[in-house]
Amino acid sequence: MAQPMGKLEPIETGRGPAKVVPLTGGSSISPHETQFQPTSRIESLEDQLSRTVVHAMRSLRPKLDHARVVTTEACIYAIDQSRSIAKLVRKRAAEIKNEHPLEVLYGITAGAFVLGVAIRIWRSSHYEPRS
C-alpha cells in the first residue's frame, strides 16, 4: 500500500551545493578566469582522468580502425576461399557420381550401416531399461 508523502524520507545525495559562476561580458574575461581551477582534489583527479581517457581514445582510434580493416579483409578472404573449396568439392562429387555410381551407392550404404551400429551401441550404453 502506498504511504502518504509526509512519511517518506527525503533522498540524500552526496553532492554539496552547486558552485556559483558569475556571468561576465564577452571581452572582459581575464586570462586567469578562463582557466579551470579545481576547487578540490576530487575535481582535479576527475579532470586528470578525463584527459587521460581522451588521450587514450585518440591514440587507440587509428589502431582500432586498422584492426577493423584487417579483420574485414581476413573475413572476406576466408569467405571467398570457402566458396571456392565448396565449388570444387561439388564439382568433384558430381564427377565421381557420374563415373562410379555403384561405388557411391556402396559407400553410402556402408556409412549408413556403420552409423546405425554406432547409434545402437551408444543407446544401449546410455539408456538402461528401468524395472
- Please write the tens of the pLDDT for every residue from 38-73: 567 777 888 888 889 888 888 888 898 999 999 999
Any domain includes 10: no
Is 49 inside a domain boundary?
yes
Q: What is the DSSP string of 57-97?
A: HHHHHHHHHHHHHHHHHHHHHHHHHHHHHHHHHHHHHHHHH
Q: 104 exposed, middle or buried (CB, 10 Å; 0-12, 13-18, 19+)?
A: middle
The answer to whether position 98 is within a domain reads yes
67 lies in a domain? yes
Please tell me the predicted confidence (pLDDT) of residue 41: 77
pLDDT over 60 at 13, yes or no: no
Q: ∠ CA(81), CA(85), CA(91), 5° rounding? A: 145
Amino acid identity for residue 73 in this structure: E
Contacts 24+ apart (CB under 8 A), 20-27: none
Q: Is residue 28 part of a domain?
A: no
Residue at 115 is within a domain: yes
Answer whether residue 16 is part of any domain. no
Is pLDDT above 70 for 10? no
Domain that holds residue 60: 40-120
Distance CA 45, CA 38 (A): 9
pTM score above 0.85: no
15: enclosing H helix or E strand: none
71 is a domain residue: yes
Q: How many domains is the chain built from?
A: 1
Whether residue 96 is predicted with pLDDT greater than 80 in this model: the reply is yes
pLDDT given at position 68 = 93
Are 24 and 33 in contact by the 8 Å Cβ rule? The answer is yes
Q: What is the pLDDT of residue 73?
A: 96
- Evaluate whether 108 touches 96 at the Cβ level (below 8 Å): no
Q: Which residue has the higher pLDDT, 35 or 55?
A: 55
- pLDDT at position 28 is 53
Per-residue confidence (pLDDT) for residue 40, from 0 to 100: 73
